[in-house]
């Protein structure tokens, strides 16, 4: 509660979880505030369960480690900017092309700011927690959020600062880079599906019930009952569906492009920015923000960029190739310029790329609950998809008055045979 009551955390009340999705799905207006509390709740449920399900009975979870997990889960999204991923996916790269830092880095910077005044640390100490006695638990919290990194350079490192092979599983709860199975996903899958009206077949409560800490290749890791393999596939399939049906919906993608253009500025005063930045721009006066104001007015009036082509790619292409598409297209019809066309590439993946995500997950059998193993790729062939990643390119025209010219340009360009980097694609 001491952390929740800080201005840094309360700011999350005004940051929508799903960015521009609310302009397509009216119910999707939930925020990072409730998601963060929900993630903390599930994290504490999982750590309580794991405490009683560790294969090596001499491995104990301390109360300080439990607190670290809870705080990391609570604070993992502190660094989100306006409209959540829209900001770190679209706005930050426009502002800072050399170092397009993602929200996790800002989360640990804001966490440091929260700890600077000492009040929360004092409260934790007075409550009987020794967070800086053996080693710096506060650094562990940040690594649970961001992964292993160097405190001075903020660059990623191969190992956690306070490497403890017996306790590696603690870093697989909030943000799991090893398998992608973590409480952050469990909360937003359930929460987002509920508010989007999308059916959710994945049951994280079964994952908690059948989770167990087992030694594997020298490290204690979180493992799941082998019979939950189908549930693992369902989890990653849920992620894929959410991206394809909602997060990167063609209307959402077009609207978010307009919002990105409208709120692009600088990163000064980051903590002062939330979704209300759009309202401030809309009600601003003078000429300085006129272009942004007019653009955002179009969003509110549903005068949005029009999709003229959605094309499936066999594989992702480089960002500069996507940016050059508009320049190629305009040569096949008069009356439009490259600036009148917007091209976006979106990838929908089960997790990372076109790899089977279940291959990285550790399981155990009822017959030997203390032995961890990975499954072969063909063990559940009846439910495995042919591909784990799909890639699309979207082409929008900004002005409806140029719709026919833009359609003609795209059609002529596609027939020209000069789009060699799209060779072999299936067009919708």
Cite the active site residues: 103
Q: What separation in angstroms does the CA of 388 have from each of 233, 351, 383?
A: 11, 8, 12
CB neighbours of residue 365 within 10 Å: 12
Phi/psi-derived region of residue 375, left when phi > 0, alpha when psi is between -120 and 50, beta in every other case: beta
Distance CA 292, CA 263 (A): 7
Residue 392 β-bridge partners = 312, 346
CB neighbours of residue 198 within 10 Å: 15
Distance CA 192, CA 125 (A): 36
3-state class (DSSP) for residue 290: helix
Summary count for the chain: helices (H), strands (E): 16, 8
Q: Please tell me the number of Cα atoms within 13 Å of 119 on its side-chain side.
A: 8
Q: What separation in angstroms does the CA of 293 have from each of 12, 92, 99, 262, 342?
A: 24, 20, 28, 7, 19
For residue 377, give the H/E element and its range.
none
Residue 16 β-bridge partners = 31
Distance CA 317, CA 49 (A): 43
198: its two tokens: 């999308």
- CA-CA-CA-CA torsion sign (246, 250, 256, 260): positive
| Closest of 192, 113, 111 to residue 146, by C-alpha | 111
- The answer to whether the beta carbons of residues 250 and 393 sit under 8 Å apart is no
Q: What are phi and psi of 391, to 5 degrees?
A: -130, 130
Distance CA 82, CA 113 (A): 19
């Amino acid at each position: 509660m001491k952390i929740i009551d800080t201005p840094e955390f309360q700011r999350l009340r005004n940051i929508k979880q799903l960015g521009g999705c609310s302009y397509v799905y009216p119910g999707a207006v939930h925020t990072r505030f409730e998601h963060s509390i929900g993630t903390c709740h599930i994290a504490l449920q999982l750590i309580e369960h794991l405490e009683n399900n560790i294969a090596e009975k001499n491995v104990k979870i301390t109360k300080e480690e439990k607190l670290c997990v809870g705080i990391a889960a609570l604070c993992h999204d502190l660094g989100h900017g306006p409209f959540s991923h829209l900001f770190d996916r679209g706005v930050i790269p426009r502002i800072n092309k050399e170092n397009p830092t993602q929200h996790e880095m800002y989360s640990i910077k804001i966490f440091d700011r929260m700890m600077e005044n000492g009040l929360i640390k004092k409260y934790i100490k007075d409550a009987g927690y020794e967070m800086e006695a053996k080693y710096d638990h506060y650094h562990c919290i940040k690594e649970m959020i961001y992964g292993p990194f160097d405190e001075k350079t903020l660059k990623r490192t191969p190992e956690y600062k306070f490497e403890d092979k017996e306790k590696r599983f603690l870093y697989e709860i909030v943000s799991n880079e090893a398998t992608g199975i973590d409480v952050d996903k469990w909360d937003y899958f359930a929460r987002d599906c509920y508010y989007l009206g999308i059916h959710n077949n994945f049951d994280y409560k079964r994952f908690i019930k059948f989770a167990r800490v087992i030694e594997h290749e020298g490290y204690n890791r979180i493992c799941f009952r082998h019979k939950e393999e189908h549930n693992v596939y369902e989890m990653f399939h849920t992620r894929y569906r959410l991206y394809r049906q909602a997060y990167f919906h063609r209307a959402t993608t077009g609207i978010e492009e307009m919002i990105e253009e409208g709120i692009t500025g600088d990163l000064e005063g980051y903590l002062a920015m939330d979704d209300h930045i759009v309202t401030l721009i809309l009600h601003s006066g003078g000429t300085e923000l006129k272009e942004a104001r007019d653009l955002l007015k179009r969003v509110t009036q549903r005068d949005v960029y029009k999709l003229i082509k959605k094309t499936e790619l066999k594989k992702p292409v480089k960002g500069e190739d996507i940016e050059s598409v508009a320049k190629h297209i305009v040569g096949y019809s008069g009356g439009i310029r490259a600036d009148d066309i917007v091209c976006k590439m979106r990838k929908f993946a089960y997790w990372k790329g076109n790899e089977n995500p279940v291959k990285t997950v550790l399981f155990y059998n009822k017959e030997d609950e203390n032995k961890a193993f990975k499954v072969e790729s063909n063990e559940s062939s009846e439910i495995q998809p042919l591909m784990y990643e799909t890639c699309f390119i979207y082409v929008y025209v900004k002005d409806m008055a140029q719709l026919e010219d833009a359609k003609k340009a795209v059609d002529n360009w596609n027939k020209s045979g000069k789009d060699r980097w799209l060779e072999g694609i299936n067009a919708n």
